[in-house]
Amino acid sequence: MAGRLDGKIAVVTGAGGGLGRETSVRFAQEGARVVCQDLDEGAAKATADAIASAGGPDTMVWTCDVSDSAAIDAMFAAASERLGVVDVLVSNAGVDRTPGDAFEEGGVQLALMSDDGWQRMLDIHLNGAFYCSRAMVRGLVEAKRGGSIICMSSVAGTSGWGPVHYATAKAGLLGFVRSIARMLGGLGIRANAICPGVIDTAMTRNIPSEMIDGLRLLTPLGRVGEARDIAAAAVYLAGDESAFVTGQAISPNGGLVIA
């Protein structure tokens, strides 16, 4: 039986983390060959090993900082040479805290945040998405092929919840995908965002349990989400089933945010 992503070459950034690993493994199970990018080489290799254990096709591991444009260009060049033209991107690499962001100060975080704390958050989320998208589109234009760009935003970007630099970065990704969706549609290149709610990942486990309990009570479906909930959305947006979907934000959040 053919997989939903047979023949696709996908780059997943932040592939060593919870959402990135689950998405990478699901992509491989659906037939895609996956480039597992992460700042942590061991974590990226562990994802590649998980794909191999699941019987997935060839993978490639790439270690770099997504805010390094030259390293991103090198990754896409190497991926094209080894696996083929990349036609799916999941720009998933992200953090919720940065050095100097005054996170612990709560309500006065904005007043005390350093320039570097603010800029690092934008560099990872926004610059990373831009550099990866630019590199992929260059390859697609040269090959005269379509593709799918998926940016991992958040309900923080749609609701304003969370640290100011994080919510700002995630909201910026929504503007980014809407703009490039209009720009690239004529080339057969789609761009969409996924806006997860509260998902059981290492990042979420940093949030105090009483806060998570409160958010669960506010969620109509009455539970915290799982990484597989997000991976399922990514598979849909990466494949041909979503061929008429672009410039959209899909939000698996259990009803926590309803727009």
Would you name the residues annotated as active-site residues?
166
119 CB neighbour count, 10 Å cutoff = 15
**Do 246 and 181 form a contact (C-beta atoms < 8 A)?**
yes
CA distance 38 to 31: 21
Amino acid of residue 189:
I
Nearest CA among 146, 159, 150 for reference residue 14 = 150
Residue 58 corresponds to which tokens in the numbers above? 């060839």
Residue 209 makes CB contacts below 8 A (sequence gap 6+) with none
**Phi, psi of 28, deg, nearest 5:** -65, -40
